[in-house]
Amino acid sequence: MMDAPPIQYAKTEDDVSIAYWTVGDGPPLVIVPNCTLAHAALLWELPGSTRLLELMTRRWTVTYFDPRGSGLSEREITRFALEDMERDLAAVILAADLDRFALLGDFPSASLTAYYARYHEDRVSHLILLHPWAAWAELLEDAPVVSSLGMAGRDFPAYIEAITTLALGSDASVEERADFLRLTTAAVTTEEYGHYLEWFQKNDVADLLPEIETPTLVVHRRESAWDSVAVSRKVVERLPNAQLAVIEGQSNQLGFGDPLPLMAVLERFMGSAQTVATDASPVPTLRTILFTDVEDSTDLVVQHGDAKYRALLADHERLVREALAEHGGNEIKTIGDSFMCWFSSASAAIDAATSMQRKIMAHYGDDLRIRIGVHAGEPIVEDDDLWGTSVVRASRIMNKADGGQILVSQVVMDLVEGKGYLFSDAGEFALKGYEHAVHLFDVKWEAE
């Protein structure tokens, strides 16, 4: 386990002391944390956040700070506005001597992150927003959030208990819940929490988002109980250069939940698909591999001619990539009219495959159909590519599918057991290069 980095202090234009640290190796990444969970030192004592930070700092030089009124920064603050909070971020960037960097905003601080990016686009190379909202009213359309916020002024301990479940999800362990409570109580007092809630409710960057040209990644955990993906989707719709990655998990808080799906989409977005290493050995590289192919592509070329078929193919590529972005998929390569992709979970791969088929069906009808094969294994990762037996098998499975069909291996079906997917037994198939026949299963999907 890494040692906690030394805490440094930056002074803002309005003379507020801001605690921060910088550690890592690689391109700079600045984290703007959830203010009510910010504590620059305590993060390194909690297993979940330490695990994520260790992974991040092996890939990037990470700068983290406690906003005014929280953690180890100056605490006796009662006035909050986007302009004030921007001063905190600007002071840290100046003290850390950063020129151009990626900027990550966590949950309620995503609005501050977007605000900074709008007015400093020359400084921000990549913008990452975790569970953002554009306006408080849009977040409050989610009933669980409304009911829990109503408790804040009446019974604060009960309120914290309620939002712990919403923020971390029902699968959170007793230890994770205890860590969340410990971080919340160390980050802010009850009075300070109230000031932050007032600030959150004033934030509305809906009109600002269309002006942000910075490449942006919006990340949403699929099973979040706090907010629905519709809230994040509205942010993406307003941003001119944004993509949505829906990843596995329930927690909407940075540092809680499985860090690997988040790391996968961050690495892809910021230009690296390399394997992240732990102290002793590589992170387990179980990946779900998906291949697509256009059925009867030669006949389509003959029927339509080169130019028209290429136009058809361009639409197909756009639709496949939309589905990948929606479900956290990683495109490895295109080979002619085929895609090779990987996912950090089997359920995300099946959801993406279903989305691809629905999009293709809605756009083309029966004029163009794709076949999809899915398999899971531990491929070799090398130079932003995957290869090995599991990759070959996924490709062979795709070759056995018909247009409009999604075939998966037994391994994939076992991985998603109990998640509500429907399969039919497609039977046993002899795969080229394999001695024994394999059992394959057909994913049952319906057009929207």
Mean pLDDT calculated for residue range 190-197:
78
Which of 156-165, 234-243, 315-324, 363-372 comes out lowest in average pLDDT?
Answer: 156-165
Cα–Cα dist 29/49, whole Å: 16
Query: Could you identify the residue written with the tokens 């049952």?
Result: 444
Of 162-166, 254-258, 441-445, where does mean pLDDT reach its minimum?
A: 162-166
Record the tokens describing residue 67, joined without a space: 């906003």
Give tens-digit pLDDT for 224-246: 877 778 888 889 889 988 888 88
Domains and CATH numbers, the chain: 8-269 (3.40.50.1820), 287-443 (3.30.70.1230)
Residue predicted with more confidence, 193 or 280: 193
- 144 band by pLDDT with thresholds 50, 70 and 90: low
Strands 385-387 and 370-377: unpaired
**3-state class of 401 per DSSP?**
coil
Q: What is the pLDDT of residue 325?
A: 86
pLDDT greater at residue 326 or residue 384: 326
- Average pLDDT, integer, range 197-218: 86
> Which region among 139-143, 284-288, 316-320, 429-433 has the lowest average model confidence (pLDDT)?
139-143
Asked if 372 contacts 338 with a C-beta cutoff of 8 angstroms, the reply is: no
List phi, psi (to 5°) of 264: -65, -45
Q: What is the pLDDT of residue 154?
A: 60
Q: Tokens in use for 389?
A: 């037996």
In this model, does residue 429 exceed pLDDT 50? Answer: yes
Instruction: With cut-offs at 50, 70 and 90, classify the pLDDT of residue 76.
Output: confident
**What pTM does this model have?**
0.63
Q: Three-state DSSP class for 277?
A: strand
pLDDT on residue 215:
92
Amino acid 153: pLDDT: 57
pLDDT, one tens digit per residue, over 385-398 is 787 788 889 999 99
Name every residue whose Cβ is closer than 8 Å to that of residue 341 and which is 6 or more positions away in sequence: 289, 290, 291, 292, 324, 329, 330, 331, 332, 349, 352
d(CA 347, CA 415) in angstroms, rounded, equals 8
pLDDT in tens, 126-136: 999 999 988 87
Confidence of residue 248 (pLDDT cuts 50, 70, 90): confident
pLDDT tens string 405-416: 999 999 999 888
Distance between CA atoms of residues 400 and 116, nearest Å: 50
Residue 277 has pLDDT above 50, yes or no: no
What angle separates helix 346-364 from helix 306-326, to the nearest 10 degrees? Answer: 140
Kindly tell me if the per-residue pLDDT of 279 is higher than 90.
Answer: no
pLDDT the model gives residue 111: 85
CB proximity list for 366: less than 8 A, separation 6 or greater? none
188 has a pLDDT exceeding 70: yes
pLDDT above 80 (res 373): yes
How far apart CA 163 and CA 232 sit, in angstroms, is: 19
pLDDT at 38: 93
Q: Is the pLDDT of residue 284 over 50?
A: no
Handedness of CA 120, 126, 128, 134 (dihedral sign): positive
What pLDDT, on the 0 to 100 scale, is given for residue 143? Answer: 46
What are the pLDDT digits (tens) for 206-215? 899 999 999 9
**pLDDT at residue 146, as a whole number:** 52
Determine contact, residues 111/132, Cβ cutoff 8 Å.
Answer: yes
Q: How high does pLDDT run on average in the chain? A: 85
Q: Closest by alpha carbon to 311, among 357, 364, 361, 356? A: 364
Q: Which of 45, 47, 97, 101 is nearest to 71 (CA)?
A: 45
**In this predicted structure, what is the pLDDT of residue 83?**
87
Cα dihedral 79, 84, 89, 95 sign? negative
The percent of residues in the chain predicted with pLDDT above 70, rounded, is 91
